[in-house]
Structure 1
Amino acid sequence: MKYERIKEVLERLNLNSITRPKEFEGCIFSILALLDDITPNPYLKMRRLYSDASFSRGANVQSIGNKANEIAGELNIHLTKDRETVRDYILKPMYDLGILRKGYLVSDNEYENFQTDIVLDYHHYKSGNNFYVLTESFIKLLQCCEEDLNKMIKSWVRTSRAKELQIRKEANKIKYGNLHSQLIDASISIFVPKYLPGLEVIYVDNADGDRIGEEYKEKMVEANLELGLEDRFPDVILRHPETDYYWFIDAVEHDGEFDITRVEDIKKSFKRKGKRVLGFTTVYRDWKTAYSRQSTYGNLAPTTTMWIMEDAGKVYQVNSVERPCFSYYMKVKAKNTKK
């Protein structure tokens, strides 16, 4: 299997978005190693079980790392030989994405417990008999024609981890406007449709001059919502048209998170207007900004959420001592209310 083909498929699966260049190279050569159907399998028992037991039947972390280095060395490319790096930053991302499958080779003295020689989708703690093997679906991906590849990639991206990486890739494409505008644009074009489907944008504070742009004035009238000087102005207001519930987004470059005071002020303001509040999301550009702000101030209000543009495939919920797991708390509260 050619190097370029593997590289193309991995890039289209967005694996390069979560691995550094050297580790991405390691992923390519690790796959080449696990496609090797000539070199005998490193496990003696595997060779006893299967007469044609080649390396492609599966190998442990160390063996994969050594074999990948051997293949890369023929091209004068040097990869890491550190076992933990191979395991955590090369093999694990591929396993998470569905490229690799775990397996455990049962030793003879364990057979009575397992009643089988090989256990797939299982690793025994710190065992040398743990191995990785390429999934059949990924091998088919490598072997299919270009027309089928497009369909199979789309299907693959529907899986949770691949979908998460696709969202991250979309977010990182947004590179226009000033920094604050960029965050707001990402919130509207990526965060809202992915995580808040059914809510529509009725207000965006993303321009100088009149805080309510012409394109949103009609939507504000339709929602019977009027904001005055006494009100807090978030960056984005969302509304669920059927229930008249509201969600708020603030994009933070330097300050302006949804802290307890800000959240309470907005809730009181909307209560006076006869409106119901659904939730709040603070948006950061990257983990560096989020860490800088929260390690210093730790001011995100409980029950709000946080979204980080560079890691766009996840949303983080803020819990507190009073409500250690807010979503669980709400479910229990709803259940008890029904009683």
Structure 2
Amino acid sequence: MAKIEDVVQELRERRIRKNGYPVPDAYQGVTRDKVREVLSRISLSGNADLVDAVFAMLDDETASWMPNLAPSGAKFADGATTAHIACHVGILQRGRTKLDREGRDYWIKPLRDLGGFEAIYLHQGQFIAGHPKPKSPSSAYRLEDAFKAILVADDGVWQNMLSEWASKDAARQRLEFQAEIAERAKGLVDNNHGELIKASVDLYAAKFLPGYEALYIDDSDGDRVSAKEKAAMARAGVKLELGDAMPDVLLWNPETDHLWVIEAVTSDGEVDITKVTKMTEFAQRHGKSGVGFTTTYLTWKDAAGRQGTHRNIAIDTYIWIQGDPSKQLFVGSYDTTCEDTSDRVVQCGPIAKGDAA
């Protein structure tokens, strides 16, 4: 399957050959200048990425980039993932590389906090409210109807509409309503990923990583790092920056000043060599004694299905299966040696103190 970046680059080149430009000056009669002017009234116009992200979400000419089973005739504006928006802005509009996905806090979150972006999810051929499965390829965004109405309204009209829309009471009511319908939609979709992340902390870490405490748990599509997590990381002397490899779970042992990363896999995202490299650099940057890694799966079938095809688990890391929770597996290589370290007992690779068997 072709990467979305390559598909969008090809689309850009094809449009330039055909039309002389990759995107029109306006979508639904709305130009970037109009978007910028509207956002300036709510102090968001200085964010060029956000301006272009909003412009992208007005695109009712490009067919949906969502996976199979998207609604018939769906357009980009009907729902686009973070990666899709990043490609629309960075590649289709600008002819560069896609925006950094971790930067969504800058080009999605500011408007989402006001209810201008709605979180939606592609389920059985229809878009439903919320992100019941965080980090799912079916999680998407669209412009909230009232905000889109402001953008397409005539000059002299949209200004009053925006003032009413942006009032504190209206914003609060809008966010409460979005949260309510998203909560109702959760029952339609099994959140296996969220459940696995929870089990990885409550069951796996509690048994196999005694002394470690959770600093960060990426189990939602809300704030990337909550205020509580920022405080916990500050106490541990670490900070996740834009560009860091965001783990599903980041733990810390105060006694040994050692970190541990957990990646919970229901579709993809194992601890591979890239994750190990980036998080090792993260630990070294913050002066930590080291970092360990575990990939968790729901079942043996899930693990076999993924590794039978991808075989991407990094050497010197662990695997834990929720369906067989009493053991963890160490991924060694032909040159793995057995040795003791100062803070962990190692049996052909690192095992958390007290759990060697």
TM-score range, shorter chain: 0.3 to 0.5
More RCO (CA 8 Å, sep 6+): 1
Q: Normalising by structure 1, report the TM-score.
A: 0.44
- Give the greater-gyration-radius structure (CA): 1
Could you say which structure has the higher helix fraction? 1
